[in-house]
Amino acid sequence: MIEIENLQKRYLRKHVLRGVSFTVEPGLITCLAGLNGAGKSTILKAIMGLVPVDGGSIRIDGRETALHLTGNRGQLNRYRALKVAFIPDRPAMPPSMKVGEALRFMADFYPAIWNEEKARDMLAFFELGEGERLGSLSRGTAAKFNLVLGLALETPYVLMDEPFSGIDLFSREAIADVFSTGWLEGRGVLITTHEIREVEHLIDRVVLLKDGVVAKTFDSEEMRLAENKSIVDIMREVYRP
Amino acid sequence: MQPDEGFTFEFNSREPVYLQVVRHFKVWIATGRLKAGQTIPSRRELAVLAKINPNTAQRAYREMEEQRLIVTEGNSPSRITGDERVLRSVRSELLEEAVDRFLELIRPIDVSTDELVALVRQKHAARNGGNSGHD
């Protein structure tokens, strides 16, 4: 489990996170939602150790990983890399690289956790060719390729930052289909998205951020069962003034 | 059980997805599209087929097992039950649900049972190619 507790983050005068607490559980898809600038990406980056936080704790399978609470950065980075895969919302590899070269890079860089077979299966699923140059991929195709790079890492947790943002309808559908496959099986997935309708049927839990704290957390099926409300209904209740 | 055989899923966003999956199966059972004893997809296959979360597929199957719509023995694939009583009750359950919804819809309209039944008989006959009478 990833346990986020009382996370605090300021950017200059802006107090973005004012004590955020929630968990990411194995085997569940958790969606972190919030309006623009609510700090969703900051939370993902904090979990990855890419931005320092000003307070609070981030435990990954019991081990504290918040930078301000722990020493030995190198050891921590290795631990984190084995536990969590991060799928960013923009290309993470140089544009001059070809698809096949990027796969070889991953295999060399993450020999212990890279699953070549899974990567090949996903390439075929998305109809991606190994000879294609990363710089010439459309935004939708680049987003799919990011997913291949992240999901082929055998980590217990996966973070996805806006996987549907700014891409065409069919790419969005293809990416949503990944959530129905066994590629995420047993893993704890944390996804941020504006396009909640794309994943309404696919997510297990919802965490709603508002004004720097978690305004509401719920299980989407239980909410539908108990109150006959969709995720979008609840978001309207929480965010509409 | 493939989409090209007409097994397609449509979901609304306010009812639990697992119950909507169960309803799809009930309709296919009631209409004879799924037969007694027929093998159904694995949970994993169902998730891909219906484009849903595998956890939801799992929950739908658990629900169908509890309602005795499907049976799973050991490691073999799940099957539609052979229990005639269960199969018949699926049909009457769906019919009753539909009639309840219909009655709820027309509640504001002032209409006698006789008028209603006459209208239902006429429309039903027209849909079935004009031959009124039985069925």
**pLDDT tens digits for range A37-56:** 889 999 999 999 999 999 99
pLDDT at B132 over 70: no
* CA distance to partner chain B, nearest, from residue A165 (Å): 20
Q: In chain A, which residues have their Cβ closer than 8 Å to the Cβ of B13?
A: 197, 200-201, 224, 230-232
A189 CB within 8 Å of a chain B CB: no
**Does the CB of B18 have a partner CB in chain A at under 8 Å?**
yes
For B17, the closest of A28, A221, A229 (CB atoms) is A221
3-state SS, residue B71: strand
Q: Is B80 helix (H, G, I), strand (E, B) or coil?
A: strand
Asked whether residue A170 carries a pLDDT value surpassing 50, the answer given is yes
Q: Among A21-35, A58-72, A131-145, B42-56, which is the least confidently predicted range?
A: A58-72
List, in order, residues 6 or more apart from A240 with CB less than 8 Å away.
none
Distance of alpha carbon A122 from alpha carbon A158, whole angstroms: 16
As a whole number, mean pLDDT of residues A149-175 equals 93
Query: So where are chain B's domains?
Result: 3-84
CB A34 within 8 A of CB A210: yes
**Listed ranges A35-39, B4-8, B72-76, B122-126; the one with the highest mean pLDDT:** B122-126
Tell me the backbone φ, ψ of residue A154, rounded to 5 degrees. Answer: -85, 70
The reply to whether residue B16 touches residue A200, judged by beta carbons under 8 angstroms, is: no
Is A65's pLDDT higher than 70? yes
- In this complex, do B59 and A203 lie within 8 Å of one another by their Cβ atoms? no
Any chain A CB within 8 A of the CB of B44?
yes
Give the pLDDT confidence of A184-216 residue by residue, as tens digits.
989 999 999 887 888 899 999 999 999 999 999
Q: Under CATH, which architecture does the B3-84 domain have?
A: Orthogonal Bundle (1.10)
Residues 6+ apart with CB under 8 A from A239: A35, A208, A210
* A89, A162 Cβ separation under 8 angstroms: yes
pLDDT (mean) for A163-171: 90
Q: Residue B61 corresponds to which amino acid?
A: Y
Chain B residues with CB-CB distance to A228 below 8 A: 14-15
**CB < 8 Å to A233, chain B:** 14
Q: Are strands A84-87 and A157-161 parallel, antiparallel or unpaired?
A: parallel
Can you give the pLDDT at residue A12? 85
B130 has pLDDT over 60: no
Q: Kindly report, residue by residue over B9-33, the tens digit of the pLDDT.
A: 999 999 999 999 999 999 999 998 9
Element (H, E) at B79: strand B79-80
